Structure 1
Amino acid sequence: MKAVWYERTGAAPDVLTYGDMPTPVAAPGEVRVKLEASGVNPADVGRRAGSYRAMEFSRVIPNSDGAGIIDQIGDGVTRPGVGQRVWLYNGQRNGRAFGTAAEYITLAEHLVTPLPADVSFAAGATLGIPCMTAWCCLFGDGPIAGQTVLVTGGAGAVGHYAVQLAKWGGARVIATVSSALKAEQARLDGADFTINYKTEDVVAKAMAFTDQRGVDRMVDVDFGGNIATTLKVMAMNSTIAVYATNGNRTPIVPMRDLMERCIGLRSLVLFALPPVLLAAAQADISKWLAAGPRLHNIAAQFALSETAQAHLAVEKGDKLGTVIVDCAR
């Protein structure tokens, strides 16, 4: 099969190789997916660059998310069948060297989920880690119907799914954004109220929207960078769900403030969450997809041989949506 890999970390054009590798065979409990599309996440780029963590394997096929068609099943597989369209997540993560920047991938059956016929493979490859993370942040502590949810970075890969899922879950949604274009995207996703954190007073706007009560749930893209603002907008008995903290990786957390207002802090990284929660996320996302047309943001698409350029597009930092690699070309 054709694939892209790296054997050392560094700049994408320097370390990513495009060539031939043996086509994998599904082991017991695994399915093989003929990949049509691969989604590039910031963590995939960070792993390849060496800024995320040290390499765990001598050769890595990057990218964790993807979509395609199951073409082989291993012994003991009971749920998906050959010919099933699927989306997948955690293709390349802790314990797995080979991700989705390839024509084929084998992985455990619980990591794949049926992809509806009306969702393209490129759109399916935007689900994976962003949509799963959004769901776990929103629903990991129970239903959100009737609550007010604040999504920071509401037009980002995780944020735009969090806005859509929160509305589907019956919440009122505030989204913080950094531009008029992103505000429009958040509104298209269903946000009830948007705040430009670069030009507007987030605390004053959020508190006014909630009649000074504060928000019940926050989905936070930068806990360390946002913490000074965050604690001023949280309601009593609220929850902050944190999935990134790049603005300040070692923030000082004023625990007394959290305790006196009974603010829960849920920090998460997807691959480490309990299997039962991840299974619930997959099942609910399937219901959400089936309930109506959804927005899937594709920032750019590249051929498999252009995976280095796809990584550079993510590193540039100005994308709106997920960068996709077309594995079939």
Structure 2
Amino acid sequence: MKAAWYKSFGTPAGVLEVGNWKNPEPKSGEVKIRIFASGVNPSDTKKRNGANPSLLDSGPVIPHSDGAGVIEAVGPGVSIDRIGERVWVWNGQYGRQEGTAAEYICLPNDQAVTLTENVSYEIGAMMGIPAMTAHRAVLSDGDVNGKNILITGGSGRVGYYAIQWAKLFGANVIATASSDSSKAECIKAGADHVVDHPSSEVNKEILEFTKGAKVDRVVEGDFAANLLPVLDIIKTSGVIASYSSMTNMNPSIPFVRMMFMDLTIRLILVYEMPMAAKIAAMKDITKYLSSNQLNHRLAKSFTLDDIAKAHQLIEKGGNKGCVVLTI
């Protein structure tokens, strides 16, 4: 089969190769999927750059954890009725060497989720990391109906879906954005109010919008940068659900202040989400995909041969939407 891989860490053009790779066969409990779209995420580029130094100890890596395609074969213990089913996948390259940047992948049966006919493979390849992370961030700590939720970086890959999940489940959504175009993206996703990034002045605007009520929850895309201003506008016993701390991966925190606020700090990594959270996300993604109630953004699509360009675009940043390989 055709695939892309890297045998050493480094730049996209320096280490990514495309060529022939051994075609995998499904083991017990697995399905074999013909991949038609492979999602490219920041975690993929970070791993290629060496974020996990032991990753290559077992040999070369075919990157990418997100993807979508059709089940072409099943292993022992899996119903043959699944053959021919359109699916999207999650955690494709987590804990294993072979991800979705290839014509075929074999995965455990429950990692292949039905993709209805009304949804393209490109959209399916956006569900694993962006949509599941956002679902966890918004809904991990109970019902959000009627609650005020602040979503920082609302035009980002995760933030865009977080706005939608919050609105679908009845929250009042305030989003932050750094430009007029990003603010427009947040409005398109359904945000009720959009402001600049958290600061003392922005906090005044948020409290004016909420009529003085502090926010119940924060979905945070840069924990280190926004923590202090967020503490001024979050309720006692509120929740900060963070999936990234881009400006400082090891931030210091005002522990005593936060303790006396009885805050919950929810740190989210889609790879390590409990299975119950993954099942809940899969259920809701399937429901709202099938009824066309989720909006999606494809920033750019590349062929497998141009995987290096796709990685470069992710690393450049500023993309309004997801980056996908078509295979």
CA contact (8 A) 1:156 1:321 kept: yes
Structure 1 gaps, min length 5: none
Describe the shift of the 1:231–1:198 C-alpha distance in structure 2 as closer, same or farther (beyond 3 A): closer
Match of 2:140, as an amino acid?
Answer: G
CA contact (8 A) 1:36 1:326 kept: yes
Structure 1 distance, partners of 2:163, 2:310, is 26
| 1:304 has 2:304 as partner | yes
Structure 1 distance, partners of 2:80, 2:239, is 35
| Over 4 Å off, 4+ runs | none
Structure 2 distance, partners of 1:250, 1:64, is 25
Describe the shift of the 1:53–1:205 C-alpha distance in structure 2 as closer, same or farther (beyond 3 A): farther
Structure 1 distance, partners of 2:80, 2:281, is 17
DSSP-derived class of the 2:55 partner: coil
DSSP-derived class of the 1:188 partner: helix
Structure 1 distance, partners of 2:312, 2:323, is 10
| 1:62 has 2:34 as partner | no
CA contact (8 A) 2:152 2:197 kept: no
CA contact (8 A) 1:224 1:245 kept: yes
Residue identity over aligned pairs, in percent, reads 39
Describe the shift of the 1:175–1:259 C-alpha distance in structure 2 as closer, same or farther (beyond 3 A): same
Could you list the per-position Cα deviations for residues 152-202 of structure 1 after superposition, in whole angstroms to 9, with x for gaps in the alignment?
110111010001111001101111111111111111110001112299933
Match of 2:289, as an amino acid?
Answer: L
Cα RMSD over matched residues?
1.7
Match of 1:143, as an amino acid?
Answer: D
- Corresponding pairs, count: 326
Which sits farther off after the overlay, 292-301 or 140-149?
Answer: 292-301
Structure 1 distance, partners of 2:232, 2:54, is 37
DSSP-derived class of the 2:244 partner: coil
Q: Normalized against structure 1, the TM-score is what?
A: 0.95
DSSP-derived class of the 1:100 partner: coil
Describe the shift of the 1:200–1:258 C-alpha distance in structure 2 as closer, same or farther (beyond 3 A): closer
Could you list the per-position Cα deviations for residues 86-126 of structure 1 after superposition, in whole angstroms to 9, with x for gaps in the alignment?
11111112x21111111111111121211121111111111
CA contact (8 A) 2:199 2:229 kept: no
CA contact (8 A) 1:80 1:109 kept: no
CA contact (8 A) 1:8 1:55 kept: no
| 1:223 has 2:252 as partner | no
Shift of 1:311: 0.3
CA contact (8 A) 1:29 1:108 kept: yes
Match of 1:241, as an amino acid?
Answer: A
CA contact (8 A) 1:144 1:166 kept: yes
Match of 2:84, as an amino acid?
Answer: G
Q: Which residue of 2 aligns with 1:189?
A: 189
Describe the shift of the 1:254–1:80 C-alpha distance in structure 2 as closer, same or farther (beyond 3 A): farther
CA contact (8 A) 2:118 2:290 kept: no
Structure 2 distance, partners of 1:82, 1:207, is 53
| 1:25 has 2:21 as partner | no
Structure 1 distance, partners of 2:199, 2:255, is 29
Q: Which residue of 2 aligns with 1:172?
A: 172
Q: Which residue of 2 aligns with 1:85?
A: 86
DSSP-derived class of the 2:208 partner: helix
Structure 2 gaps, min length 5: none
CA contact (8 A) 2:34 2:104 kept: yes
Structure 2 distance, partners of 1:66, 1:80, is 21
| 1:233 has 2:225 as partner | no
Could you list the per-position Cα deviations for residues 231-254 of structure 1 after superposition, in whole angstroms to 9, with x for gaps in the alignment?
112112210101111211121111
Shift of 1:255: 2.0
Aligned ranges 1:1-329 → 2 under 5 Å:
1-51=1-51, 53-56=53-56, 57-78=58-79, 81-93=82-94, 95-197=95-197, 201-327=201-327
CA contact (8 A) 2:33 2:105 kept: yes
DSSP-derived class of the 1:257 partner: helix
Describe the shift of the 1:138–1:53 C-alpha distance in structure 2 as closer, same or farther (beyond 3 A): farther
